[in-house]
Amino acid sequence: MKPRPPTGRRIVNGVVSGLAAASALLGLLALAWIFLGVLSRGVGALNVDFFTRLPNPPGIPGGGVANAIIGTLAMTGLATLLAVPLGMMAGVFLSEFGQKSRLADHSRFAANVLMGMPSIIIGVFVYAILVLPRGKFSGYAGALSLGIIMLPVVARTAEDMLRLLPNTLREAGLALGAPTWKVTLTILFRAAKPGLLTGILLAVARVSGETAPLLFTALNSPYWESSLAGPTPNLTVTIFNFAMSPYPDWQQMAWGASLLITCGVLTLNLTARFFLGEKHS
């Protein structure tokens, strides 16, 4: 067989490599453009009042979104408490106990579908099962919708991280007479700790900017709320309301809240990528 000259392959390889690099650069430019745009418009709204006061009525300058910040943290924290234990247990079952069983196959398929499902559908679902029967919006419903969104992310990440571990770790623990559950908790979880924490941070970042499910569940409130049993203030719906308003001061606060969420999501992703990622490697 006569070998083909390498010139054509080199040209094709160079063209494809150039297109890949250009695509990556285009994505970085888009990210930088968005971040700089939000930064330039939102930095002027950040001051002490922004983090400590309630929103002022339209036309009155000043005020802040302290109630929305607290409400967002409360709902995200509750959603994390709901999703992380269930997601971890599901990941352990898929990786260590179920593996190739039919239930595991169906669970993986359901998790993949749930990860790609539009968040507004999840919001409508929680609205139908929790908001309508109770007759009012609540932060608990908002936390449930966020937890449902986080659940498949945590489960699949936990499964992938545990399956990356060598079988010698499992065999060593079992050879010492430890049961499978103890090997999983005391050996595998310690070995996969950076990857598991990365998955949790990415799941939190996934729901940090969700607006649609909270519109149907938590709604919003301009007041201090001491409980999640009623309409709960949150940053994403506040941004939606303020950005749609005709008042310049509210629009400025919407940009400030957008910058706050953007910096929070960026921090979570950088933490997962550089700090925990380096430890895992």
Tens digits of residue pLDDT in 65-117:
999 999 999 999 999 999 999 999 999 999 988 888 899 999 999 999 999 89
Q: What is the pTM of this model?
A: 0.89
Whole-number average pLDDT of the chain: 90
Share of the chain above pLDDT 70, in %: 96
Band (11; pLDDT cuts 50, 70, 90): confident
Share of the chain above pLDDT 90, in %: 69
Do 220 and 139 form a contact (C-beta atoms < 8 A)? Answer: no
pLDDT at 57 over 90: no
Give the CATH number of domain 67-247; options: 1.10.3720.10, 3.40.1190.20, 3.40.50.150, 1.10.287.1770.
1.10.3720.10
For 9, 34, 172, the CA distances from 12, given in Å and listed in that order, are 5, 33, 48
Measured CA to CA, the distance from residue 91 to residue 159 in angstroms comes to 4
pLDDT at 6 over 90: no
Average pLDDT of span 227-242: 94
For 107, 157, 159, the CA distances from 101, given in Å and listed in that order, are 10, 19, 14
Place of tokens 């994505």: 27
What the block records as the tokens of 116 is 């790609």
pLDDT at 278 over 60: no
Measured CA to CA, the distance from residue 19 to residue 77 in angstroms comes to 41
pLDDT at 1 over 90: no
Amino acid at 2: K
pLDDT at 9 over 90: no
Average pLDDT of span 13-38: 93
Which pLDDT tens digit goes with each residue over 107-166? 999 999 999 899 999 999 999 999 999 999 999 999 999 999 999 999 999 999 999 999
Band (12; pLDDT cuts 50, 70, 90): confident
Helix or strand or coil: residue 126? helix
Higher pLDDT, 88 or 274: 88
DSSP code, position 63 = B
pLDDT for the residue numbered 198:
87
